[in-house]
Structure 1
Amino acid sequence: GISDPTGAMYIRILEAEGKVEFTRLVGRSKMFRLKK
Structure 2
Amino acid sequence: MLLLIMALELLFMRILVLDRLLLDRLPDLLHNL
Q: TM-score, normalised by structure 2?
A: 0.76
Gaps (5+ residues) in structure 1? 1-8
| Count of aligned pairs between the two proteins | 28
Q: Percent identity among equivalent residues? A: 21
The structure with more helix, counted as a fraction of residues: 2
Higher relative contact order (CA 8 A, sep 6+): 1
Over 4 Å off, 4+ runs: none
Q: TM-score, normalised by structure 1?
A: 0.70
- Higher-Rg member (1/2): 1
- After TM superposition, give the deviation of residue 34 of structure 1 in Å: 1.1
- The one-character-per-residue Cα deviations of 1:1-36 (angstroms, maximum 9, x if unpaired) are xxxxxxxx1000000000000000000000000134
Say what the alpha-carbon RMSD is for the aligned residues.
0.9
